[in-house]
Amino acid sequence: MRSLSVILPVLTFLIVLMGSSVRADSPEVELGERLFKDPRFSYAGNFSCVSCHFSPDDRRGYADFEARTPIPRRLEDSHLPQLTLRNTTALIELFWGEKAGVPNLLHSDGEFQTPEALVIAGMTGRNMGWLASEKNQALTKLAQVARLYPEIASSSEPTVTDDEAIQKVASLITAYMRSLEFSKDEQGDFNGSPYDQFLKLNHLPEKPNPGEPSKLYGERLRLQIEGLERDGKLQWISQGPQGERMARHDQAFRFGAAELEGLKIFYSTPPAAPARAHHSIGNCAGCHAPPAFTDFRFHNTGASQEEYDFTHGQGSFLSLVIPEAAQRARLTREELAPFAQIPDPSDPKKADLGAWNQVPLFPNGPDLGHLFGQLFETLCNFIPTCTLSQWRVYENEVLRASVGAFKTPTLRNLGHSNPYLHTGNRARIEQAIQMYIPMGLMARQRRLRNADPEMAGVIINARDIGPLSAFMRSLNEDYE
Ligand code: HEC
Ligand code: HEC
């Protein structure tokens, strides 16, 4: 009896320890991961999802290190792009928005309404070496390789059809991607980063109240912190679960004065009274809504305009001819292609207009309630008085509002997804934030084409870059 009473607590301790360090994946998720890493689906058997979406073992949040990634070469089509159109995005916590009821569109231009559709398109597209003309061949290969997995081949009787095998791959990889989450506590609140720990230690609100706009929550949080500071009660974080340093990031696990200064700028919103205007105002939470630090919606920050102007000269993006709704509806695929391309010194028609390329236009009216209208609806929300039922009146305005708009990326764990922006042209966090100095100014001066309304409220200067970057780094974490 005595020995058991000694062993039991030790055993319980060991089990708890194992439970917290080893992620127990379901068989479905494990199979999804194997499919994600399987190069046999690609044209030449040499590319898989993980070729561009590296795992945390490489200190990546399922992104890579490239600004734009070289795609498999095909000699037949040497005139085709040799690089991905955009920077490879990180894949952690992609589906958090569903809980908040936000349409779950994927790719930074909102191309895909479901992850399953993205998987099938990805498996049979250029990223895996397939040419557009080889769709059927690619789908057949997808089904063939899928059947090599006994779990898929025997999942239906007597034999799995091609279509069933393909759908199975899509749903398994989706299950795997859904499992890529940041650390959370029992309540489902984020708890892995120094920022999260700082909020918990000081009993500060970790997320907006239901229905509370993120900017109001940010202001409330900031005022509450300033109250604790005045009373001398604010406590810092100088240690994490792994000690003073982070295991997967080259930095201390800390939330101190510099991080707090950044937090305050981040959550500052444009002043009601101009008297406060001399303070820096990040207005960042207007789009990077806590606690996921994205609103999963589409905004134009000027990143496309900046790259285009860099290629063709200051102000050139303002005079780029962009078709209106009626005109766009008549253009062929080839005529539309230049609006989703990397700017090119030898061809000023090439630009990346982001969500503009995906906004559905409705010859017979939007299919209300159907996913296809989601992007339209999301953008319509930004236009005062716009309603879906009056789609014909607002069609053009919605299309215009989508020029240069991209999905807000999360700011969690940026340490594993550099370089930044859809252009990948910012190597460091400091450089990514630097963009907001001229872009805020240009928005106020109306020199930013289709600037998002929130951009005019971003008033920061060179002194703010350090603290804001420290704050961004406090959102890094050692997730599994
Ligand atoms: C050649 C590189 C490459 C390969 C291979 C690749 N991807 Fe991607 N992936 C990208 C790029 C680039 C983006 C960003 C696209 C955009 O935003 O327009 C992306 C975006 C995504 C997104 C969207 C994330 C978001 O925030 O909306 C998902 C999901 C994704 N990839 C999953 C996959 C899966 C699953 C596979 C394998 C079938 C795969 N990728 C293969 C380069 C690649
Ligand atoms: C109008 C909405 C909006 C506001 C306001 C805003 N952002 Fe962004 N942010 C975005 C979008 C959209 C992107 C992606 C842009 C792109 O790639 O074209 C982005 C990208 C970033 C990135 C790069 C992330 C990555 O993974 O590539 C950082 C860092 C960033 N923002 C920080 C900030 C900070 C700090 C502030 C406040 C000073 C701020 N943002 C204000 C919408 C916004």
Question: Tens digit of pLDDT for each residue in 366-376?
Answer: 665 555 567 88
Least confident interval from 1-15, 37-51, 321-335: 1-15
CA distance 266 to 146: 47
Closest ligand 1 atom number to CA of residue 48: 5
Q: State mean pLDDT over 127-142.
A: 95
Q: Distance from the CA of 208 to the center of ligand 2, in angstroms?
A: 20
Which residue(s) pair with 459 in the sheet?
281
CA distance 273 to 31: 57
DSSP state of 406: E
Is the CB–ligand 1 distance for residue 108 below 6 Å? yes
Q: pLDDT grade, residue 384 (50/70/90)? A: confident
Query: What does R_g of the chain's alpha carbons equal in angstroms?
Result: 24
Is the CB–ligand 1 distance for residue 459 below 6 Å? no
153 sits in which H/E element: helix 150-153
Closest by CA position to 452, among listed 436, 428, 464, 431: 436
Structure tokens at 104: 């779950």
Question: Looking at 257-331, which runs of residues are DSSP E strands?
Answer: 298-299
Q: State mean pLDDT over 179-183.
A: 95
Closest by CA position to 264, among listed 240, 229, 239: 229
Q: What is the DSSP string of 189-241?
A: -B-SSHHHHHHHHTT---SPPTT--HHHHHHHHHHHHHHHHHTT----B--BT
Ligand 2, residues at Cβ distance < 6 Å: 266, 282-284, 286-288, 299, 301, 303, 406, 408-409, 411, 414, 417, 420-422, 429, 432-433, 436, 452, 454-455, 458, 460, 468, 472
Would you call 361 exposed, middle or buried from its count of C-beta atoms within 10 A (0-12, 13-18, 19+)? middle
List all residues 6 or more positions away from 317 whose beta carbon is below 8 Å from its beta carbon.
304, 305, 308, 309, 351, 449
Structure tokens at 466: 């350090």
Write the residue with the smallest CA distance to atom 38 of ligand 2: 282
Residue with tokens 């498999």: 72
User: What local confidence, expressed as pLDDT, does residue 97 receive?
Assistant: 86
User: What local confidence, expressed as pLDDT, does residue 166 receive?
Assistant: 97
Structure tokens at 406: 């991209």
CA distance 277 to 86: 36
Our CA dihedral for 192, 195, 199, 201, rounded to 10 degrees, sits at: 70
Tell me how many degrees the CA angle 295-296-302 measures, rounded to the nearest 5. 85
Ligand 1: residue of 37, 111, 118, 119 to mutate (most ligand atoms within 8 A of CB) is 118
For 327-377, the pLDDT digits (tens) are 998 899 899 999 999 999 999 999 999 999 998 877 666 665 555 567 888
Q: What is the DSSP string of 255-275?
A: B-HHHHHHHHHHH----SSGG
Q: State mean pLDDT over 435-441.
A: 97
Q: Is 328 helix (H, G, I), strand (E, B) or coil?
A: helix
**Contact assessment for residue 267 and residue 222, using Cβ atoms and an 8 Å cutoff:** yes
What's the predicted TM-score (pTM) here?
A: 0.93
Is a pLDDT exceeding 80 seen at residue 100? no
Q: Which residue type does 342 have?
A: I
Does residue 68 or residue 58 have the better pLDDT?
Answer: 68
User: What local confidence, expressed as pLDDT, does residue 5 receive?
Assistant: 42
Is a pLDDT exceeding 70 seen at residue 246? yes
Q: Distance from the CA of 77 to the center of ligand 2, in angstroms?
A: 35
Our CA dihedral for 150, 140, 121, 118, rounded to 10 degrees, sits at: -20
Is the CB–ligand 1 distance for residue 417 below 6 Å? no
List all residues 6 or more positions away from 307 whose beta carbon is below 8 Å from its beta carbon.
343, 352, 423, 425
Q: pLDDT grade, residue 425 (50/70/90)? A: very high
CA distance 147 to 169: 10
CA distance 71 to 74: 9
What ranges do the domains of the chain cover? 27-178, 194-297+410-473
Q: Distance from the CA of 70 to the center of ligand 1, in angstroms?
A: 13
The mean predicted confidence, pLDDT, of the chain is 90
pLDDT over 70, % of the chain: 90
Q: What is the DSSP string of 46-90?
A: ---GGGTS--GGGT-SS--S-SSPBPPP-GGGTTS-SB-SSPPPP
Helices H / strands E in the chain, number of each: 18, 2
CA distance 138 to 309: 38
Q: pLDDT grade, residue 321 (50/70/90)? A: very high
Ligand 1: residue of 80, 84, 139, 168 to mutate (most ligand atoms within 8 A of CB) is 84
Closest ligand 1 atom number to CA of residue 84: 12
User: What local confidence, expressed as pLDDT, does residue 276 receive?
Assistant: 53
Q: Report whether the peptide linkage leading into residue 419 is cis, meaning its omega lies within 30 degrees of zero.
A: yes
User: What local confidence, expressed as pLDDT, does residue 15 receive?
Assistant: 38
Is a pLDDT exceeding 70 seen at residue 436? yes
Structure tokens at 358: 């995906």
CA distance 442 to 455: 9
In this structure, which ligand is nearest to the CA of 106?
1
For 27-178, CATH gives 1.10.760.10
